[in-house]
Structure 1
């Protein structure tokens, strides 16, 4: 066990000494159980998996969209990594909708430009990342719709970002949790946000 620990530390020391980028370090890491590893705006973020309530909100979104997903032949999952072409950031949305033939970067990542929608559920540890950095990252990655479920805001809300221009979302519509909100094309679905009340 001691030898294995020493070997891991030596590998980490070697990686950091070589001046690897966050993306290169991300690519060199083995899977880490129960932790989410992402590259956002060139920084590697390692965080624990969310609380049960966090996961339940993503599941409730999935359940609401399930008839639409079935009708259109789309796939959906929680916690998949995407690859943003260009900077090769690798965000892991709480929820992602994509066609079954979505292009990939390697074996494990979907290309962000090929997905239909992503969603994040804000938690105390992800406030700035979800509200600011991921909004920029998903727009740069050409993700058509970004849904931000924010149960910890002063007034719990859902914001839908869409219509990308100059690598930024031009349209942001916010509704308090409990009110309906429209998910625009290519989703075209009115979401009843009362499903996020806990």
Structure 2
């Protein structure tokens, strides 16, 4: 005899719409939408989240006043919805009452913290969709033993690496705004 697989009462295969995913109740999981499929992953561990929050503070301090940083904010790209770890977008788009997501036209930079289980999804699929959405800058943050930050600029339809630094080095950018920091500032106890 085979056992039936038990599914929660609200489970369904799909396809899902962006509006359905955007209003899902908070359940401790991240819900993204890719080609009508619901992609669910656990909320990242504290070091991952802490690095993102620190990076947002660094970027926000350097950004022009009309931009601000935001962690884990829904971004709609066509029929898909992603949740980057780090986003710098027009303040007005982040403060719009009742908004469930922001659009790429309002976003100047997104960043993803790579983890062993998500690096291909982040590096390949999500970065490609960010490029298709026209987001000018993309950042990859690697944490495990020696923090590293790599920055890409959109040129045509692809991202091209423009800066890279490991812990102990200074990452310097002149675009999308002037900012410099050591990737080691993203990890460990505050100094």
Q: Is 2:155 the counterpart of 1:164?
A: yes
Of residues 7, 10, 14, the one that matches 1:8 is 10
Q: Which has the higher helix share?
A: 1
Q: Is 2:65 the counterpart of 1:72?
A: yes
Q: 1:35 to 1:177 in 2, by over 3 A?
A: same
Deviates more, 1:111-120 or 1:94-103: 94-103
Q: Is 2:50 the counterpart of 1:50?
A: no
User: What pairs up with 1:168-179 in 2 under 5 angstroms?
Assistant: 168-179=158-169
Q: Is 2:32 the counterpart of 1:38?
A: yes
Q: Give the distance between the partners of 2:153 and 2:54, measured in 1 at CA.
A: 21
Q: Give the distance between the partners of 1:197 and 1:44, measured in 2 at CA.
A: 31
Q: Give the distance between the partners of 1:121 and 1:42, measured in 2 at CA.
A: 24
Q: Is the 8 A contact 2:165 2:182 kept in 1?
A: no
TM-score of the aligned structures, taking structure 1 as reference length: 0.77
Helix, strand or coil at the partner of 2:112: strand
User: What pairs up with 1:119-158 in 2 under 5 angstroms?
Assistant: 119-152=111-144, 156-158=147-149
Supply the RMSD in Å over aligned alpha carbons: 2.6
Residue number in structure 1 paired with 2:4:
none
Q: How many residues align?
A: 178
User: What pairs up with 1:80-119 in 2 under 5 angstroms?
Assistant: 80-85=73-78, 88-102=79-93, 107-119=99-111
Q: Deviations over 1:72-117 (max 9, x none)?
A: 23222111110113xx22110111111122398x820100222111
Helix, strand or coil at the partner of 1:54: helix
Which segments of 5 or more consecutive residues in structure 2 lack a partner in the other structure?
A: 1-6
Runs of 4+ in 1 over 4 A off after TM superposition: none
Q: Give the distance between the partners of 2:34 and 2:44, measured in 1 at CA.
A: 18
Q: Is the 8 A contact 1:93 1:120 kept in 2?
A: yes
Q: 1:6 to 1:160 in 2, by over 3 A?
A: closer
Q: Is the 8 A contact 1:40 1:134 kept in 2?
A: no
